[in-house]
Amino acid sequence: MVGKVVGAAVSAVLLGGGVLALSPSAPAVVDVPVDGADTPPGAGAAKGAGADTATGAGVVPKTGTGAAAGTDTKAGGARCSSRRPIVIAHRGASAFRPEHTLAAYRLAVRMGADYIETDLVSTKDHVLVARHENELSKTTDVAGHPEFAGRRTTRRINGHLRTGWFTEDFTLDELRTLRARERFPKRRPHSKVYDGQASIPTLEEIVRLARRHGVGLYPEIKYSTYFASIGLPIEGPLLATLARHGWKDRDDPVFIQSFETWNLRELRPVTRLRLTQLIGARGAPYDLVAAGDRRTYRDLVTPSGLKEIATYADAVGVITSRIVPTGPDGRLGVPTSLVRDAHARGLQVHAATVRNENAGLPADYRRGDPARPAYRRAAGDVAGWLRRLYTFGVDGVFANDPVVARAVRDRVCAGG
């Protein structure tokens, strides 16, 4: 039943001619001017070559030694055997700028990212914008706008009650009056200094930025079942925008990702662009839950589950603990066979998410004194952790710090 909703949102793609036709329910394209191409303070001089020394980016620490940082190719095969793993800037260079802002994306480009990741939600007037969730209070100053106080409400999103301000209650013009802010101000005080400087970007702006700088795009369809249920499906406008900018074929630098399954299945017959099935750390895809299907993400990463995913997707995006679990002490255990199993079925494996801070790293790669108040937000041995992931044979990593992810990737692929 939910599949019919996407079928109405994305009517047809004539694959031979690359012509996208949207149903009458799809909105007209809103052409939004791109914000000025400002240069973020301290950004490197060129894509892939500059180090943002003002924020500490580009300083690649020595990788760890011993078993935790050793080369282990048994779980995933030979390193860089056929192609270099891609570096995906997670929400932009989100270790150094407020996430999902043009400033974060531009800095990611300068740091050498191959792809920039953007999470997509819809406005009231059906314009796709970049936010990790449709609730706005964690990443914007909406709570400080008295004119929008009456729009605070409670919604059930993917089975969970959420209270706040939601993108689908705002037009694009209204969202433009808000300013982005750092999600984790205590963890990333150096990013918080950029609060209030950036607006919420549209997909149109982000695609133009990516095309202008020659990088790929890795958009995530957020809350697909929910947005389709309120008449604001994301899939149709997404394909239309990408096609308008010439991105419609398998060889184009685009991966479309989703934690749900039905929308990717519906997209497969109507686009040649590559699709990524995201795999959560726990639970199940919401579309399966809503349909009464008892399969979980754990079922999806079994050999039979991966075989089914391969019928509609080109890659799986998996949390790192699916590749190598951690024990109760936070230290790495024995790698799983996931990378090998996925590769056997023709699927790429993209690992998420590599963070700089101790709080986001396995205990093997945390550095400093755990008793110190700043320990959780202090930088750990992220280079060592990246090296370990690459030697497992992953085909890409989602990283908050693209310059380190790229430098370590290049070193590993060169045999260093």
Q: So what's the pLDDT on residue 231?
A: 98
Q: So what's the pLDDT on residue 1?
A: 41
Q: So what's the pLDDT on residue 108?
A: 97
Say if CB 102 and CB 64 are below 8 A apart: no
- For residues 58 and 398, give the distance between their C-alpha atoms in angstroms, rounded to a whole number: 16
Say if CB 58 and CB 50 are below 8 A apart: yes
DSSP state of 201: P
Residue 354, domain member (yes or no): yes
Mean pLDDT computed over 99-115: 97
pLDDT class for 5, splitting at 50, 70, 90?
A: very low
Q: So what's the pLDDT on residue 186?
A: 83
Q: So what's the pLDDT on residue 185?
A: 86
H, E, C per residue of 307-344:
HHHCCCCCEEEEEHHHHCCECCCCCECCCCCHHHHHHH
Higher pLDDT, residue 305 or 57: 305
90 catalytic per annotation: yes
Q: So what's the pLDDT on residue 7?
A: 41
213 catalytic per annotation: no
Q: Which residues form the domain of 171? A: 2-25+58-413
Residue 203, domain member (yes or no): yes
Number of domains in the chain: 1
Mean pLDDT computed over 349-363: 96
Mean pLDDT computed over 143-161: 97
Residue 53 has pLDDT above 60, yes or no: no
Catalytic one of 100, 126, 132, 350? 132
Mean pLDDT computed over 160-168: 97
pTM: 0.83
pLDDT class for 54, splitting at 50, 70, 90?
A: very low
Mean pLDDT computed over 153-167: 97
Q: So what's the pLDDT on residue 416?
A: 72
Residue 17 has pLDDT above 80, yes or no: no
DSSP state of 140: B
- Is residue 183 classed as helix, strand or coil in its secondary structure? coil
Q: Which of 50-59, 214-223, 352-361 has the lowest mean pLDDT?
A: 50-59
Percent share of the chain, pLDDT over 70: 80
Distances (CA, A) of 168 to 119, 151, 223, 236: 15, 11, 12, 16
Say if CB 276 and CB 317 are below 8 A apart: yes
Residue 295, domain member (yes or no): yes
DSSP state of 256: E
- Which distant-in-sequence residues (6+ apart) come within 8 Å of 312 by Cβ? 264, 265, 267, 268, 275, 277
Residue 68 has pLDDT above 80, yes or no: no
Residue 9 has pLDDT above 80, yes or no: no
The b-or-e profile of 271-285 (16+ CB within 10 A means b, else e) is bebbbbbbbbeeebb
Peptide bond into 55 cis (omega under 30): no
Mean pLDDT computed over 103-127: 97
Pairing of strands 348-354, 396-399: parallel
pLDDT class for 188, splitting at 50, 70, 90?
A: confident
pLDDT class for 82, splitting at 50, 70, 90?
A: low
Residue 269 has pLDDT above 70, yes or no: yes
**CATH number of the domain that residue 311 is part of:** 3.20.20.190
- For residues 286 and 160, give the distance between their C-alpha atoms in angstroms, rounded to a whole number: 11
Residue 46, domain member (yes or no): no
Mean pLDDT computed over 9-25: 31
Give the up-direction half-sphere exposure of residue 313: CA atoms within 13 A in the CB hemisphere.
31
Q: So what's the pLDDT on residue 48?
A: 37
228 — phi, psi (to 5°)?
A: -65, -35
Residue 48, domain member (yes or no): no
Higher pLDDT, residue 261 or 51: 261
Condensed to tens digits (0 to 9), the pLDDT of residues 290-348 reads 999 999 999 999 999 999 999 999 999 999 999 999 999 999 999 999 999 999 999 99
CB atoms within 10 A of CB 304: 11
- For residues 317 and 279, give the distance between their C-alpha atoms in angstroms, rounded to a whole number: 6
Catalytic one of 90, 100, 126, 343? 90
Mean pLDDT computed over 282-291: 96
Residue 52, domain member (yes or no): no
Residue 73, domain member (yes or no): yes
Distances (CA, A) of 307 to 40, 312, 341: 44, 10, 9
- Is residue 237 classed as helix, strand or coil in its secondary structure? helix
Mean pLDDT computed over 161-174: 98
Q: So what's the pLDDT on residue 49?
A: 33
Higher pLDDT, residue 350 or 5: 350
Say if CB 362 and CB 385 are below 8 A apart: yes
Residue 37, domain member (yes or no): no
pLDDT class for 79, splitting at 50, 70, 90?
A: low
Dihedral sign, Cα of residue 277, residue 278, residue 283, residue 287 = negative
What token pair was written down for 72? 């282990």
Condensed to tens digits (0 to 9), the pLDDT of residues 203-227 reads 999 999 999 999 999 999 999 999 9
Q: So what's the pLDDT on residue 415?
A: 86
